[in-house]
Amino acid sequence: MSAYHLQGVRFTYGAGAPALVVPELDLAAGGVTAFCGPNGSGKTTLLHLLALLATPSAGSVRFFGELATPRRLPALRRQVSLLLQSPYLFRGSVQANVEWGLKVRGTPADTRRRAAARALERVGLVDLARRPAAQLSGGERQRVALARVLALDPRAVCLDEPTNHLDGAGREALQEVLASWVAERGVTLVLATHDTAFARRLGARVLQLAGGALRPAEPDNLIRGHVLPGEPVAFQAGRVRLAVHSLPPGTGWVHIGPRQVVLAREVQPSSARNQLEGRITAVAPLADDELLVTVDCGIPLQAVITRASWQLLHLEQGGPVVAAFKASAVEAG
């Protein structure tokens, strides 16, 4: 079953060019989808449509099969929640903030209290239930907002840049809450994020937005391993040791953008401290005369290169290659 089906959707602010053009999009119920893309690419606009806070200027949005017309919007909206980048909390206790959505819906007080307590436990904030919301840190505020959404138990949740203000531990905690929510309640998650590594770790289908249009996302090289202390810093991934710049202690995943990986025929003197010898295992065409090249060099790595450099370097599938990238290209996942 589809949670969302969009057909011929356009959204235009005022009189300008459309901020979003989506010919067709289907999001499976109980799935996790992430829209990645630079600022201004239309992520928040799309999230507003999916959170049923707005209707498109043209085309249709179906939510669990039902057409989201302006008339049906208020009723359907109760089944989906939007978690904003900087969530709004009002004065009052954490508990009152979490109960608020249920109160608006007329839920009886003890049901409300129990739901709020469960939600606060989920996000690890039980101890702060009585605290005035105004005294919380940014990360705590976000967890309260998440608990508020959890307490409502919606069918779908849209999260706008959920990891922007979180450190490594905060991201991991959020990942756990979201993953168990999907597993236990079958909630449909939609994320707008720059953080493709976070999205992939949630098992998300990642779609790229650029200039208001969707395109398939380039994969991120996500690698598991552990930081080796000492100088210079290294990251051990299986039998491969990567030169890295400082990484937070305890980092268990790193990622390397496929455009940061340069391919060569031989190890060369260069500023790239990582030069891994391997073989080309797959080649797939991308748009704009670029190729996505998969290399096995002890770890699987993908690189985006132009067709021209592929030819210039006389690369071939199955052939040898060196994948080079700077220590600074290895970022904490």
Q: How far apart are CA 280 and CA 291, in angstroms?
A: 12
Phi, psi of 93 (to 5 degrees): -75, 165
Q: Which stretch binds ligand ADP (CB under 6 A): 32-40, 129-137, 195-203, 215-223?
A: 32-40
Q: In this structure, what DSSP letter does residue 132 have?
A: B
Counting residues that bind ligand ADP (by CB under 6 A) gives 11
CB-based burial, 135-158: b 16+ in 10 Å, e otherwise? ebeeebbbbbbbbbbbbbbbbbbb
Candidates 1, 15, 39, 269; binder of ligand ADP (CB under 6 A) is: 39
- Residue closer to ligand ADP by CB (options 37, 101) is 37
H or E element: which one contains 140? helix 138-152
- Which of 31, 42, 56, 333 binds ligand ADP (CB under 6 A)? It is 42
Q: Which positions from 41 to 80 touch Mg ion by CB under 5 A, shown as an x/- string?
A: --xx------------------------------------
Q: Which of 37, 154, 162, 257 binds ligand ADP (CB under 6 A)?
A: 37
Sign of CA dihedral 286, 291, 296, 301: negative
Name the residue whose CB lies closest to Mg ion.
44
Question: Measured from the CB atom, is 14 or 74 closer to ligand ADP?
Answer: 14
Question: Cβ 197 to ligand ADP, closest distance in Å?
Answer: 18
Q: Which stretch binds ligand ADP (CB under 6 A): 12-20, 118-126, 238-246, 268-276?
A: 12-20
C-alpha distances in Å from residue 32, one per residue of 189, 192, 199, 207: 5, 11, 8, 11
Q: If binding is defined by CB under 6 A, does position 19 make contact with ligand ADP? A: yes
Tokens for 182, please give them.
């999907």
Asked if residue 138 lies in contact with residue 165, where contact means CB atoms within 8 angstroms, the answer is yes
Q: Which residues bind Mg ion (CB under 5 A)?
A: 43-44
Q: Which residues bind ligand ADP (CB under 6 A)?
A: 13-14, 19, 37, 39-45
